[in-house]
Structure 1
Amino acid sequence: MSDKQSSEFKSKVAQEAASESQKVIQKIAAKYEVSEEEVIKWTSKYSDKGIGLSQTGSQSDSDEGSVEDVDISTEDEELASGVSHGVMSDNLNYGKLIFWSTVGTSLVVIFVVAIVFFSQYSLFEAQKEASLRVTYSDFSELWAEQEQELNSFGVVDLEDGIYRIPIDSAINKIAID
């Protein structure tokens, strides 16, 4: 009879059964003053061991009363397999996973190597620029000293009587004579 019913009807019945079972669990938990999680855990434990939940007294720690077996069927094989094993299968494509992991790792390595080379290049350029500045400043100082010598009076060799005069004065003197 369950094969002839629509999927909406089956879903409605399953939802109602689930909500009713939740109400029963709440009543049992309240009756024995334990949490709902403990009731669910104990029920699962004794169901997995194959111990009858309808047993009472010293044979079982379960509550009095009968337990109804519920059989839920589905057309979704993946869901049925997941429910029976407790997990859903992952169906990972390990080839793609390895490929993209390798690509990602390679990109990170390339990025790190590029940063190292860039920092070394930047350091080299900074040292080169500093070297040029030192050379330029040395030339500037030398140029200033030579300019000072060319435009000032001074003694070159006192014993031989050689003196220095500004270049402009020397040019004028040569031009006049």
Structure 2
Amino acid sequence: MSDKYSSEFKAKVALEAVTQGRSVIKETAEKYDVTEDEVIAWAAQLHEDASKIFTAGAEPVADDSEGEDVDLATDDSEFAAAVEHGVMSDTLNYKKLIFWSTLGTSLVIIFVIGLVYFSQYSLFEAQKEASSRVTYSDFSELVAEQEQELNSFGVVDLEDGIYRIPIDSAINKIATD
């Protein structure tokens, strides 16, 4: 652990952690802006050296147990296992987890639907623009070709003897017959 904290500060944090129990180690660590591992280590050291506090004329014990095993006696077996393995059990807040998962999934779905609508709109606009490019002259050329076909003589099918005559001539022939 780090030596950047005074022994008084360590004792204060460790004492608070020990007196309030395992459930507030996280809050104690956050309150004093230290890691949970440091709080646990200081609490263990406090527990180990607690008997020396009441020894008359005793000098403070220096922390030279770097990397050594620490013996911790506690009635809470879950806490003891957590200290032994260096981890704390993590309880998930399922309500928040479900809320954020649902919100994230909903946002992704809305985004995808928006992309689909945008692509359909873009396609529609492109088709509209392409259809507007057909000019009046193209249309008038088509009408002129059809007018010429209606008002001229021509062969439709030579083998069957089908011929085309102007519409005015066809109307006059029907009227005279």
Q: Which has the higher contact order (CA 8 A, sep 6+)?
A: 2
Same fold by TM-score, threshold 0.5 exceeded?
no
Shorter-chain TM-score tier: 0.3 to 0.5
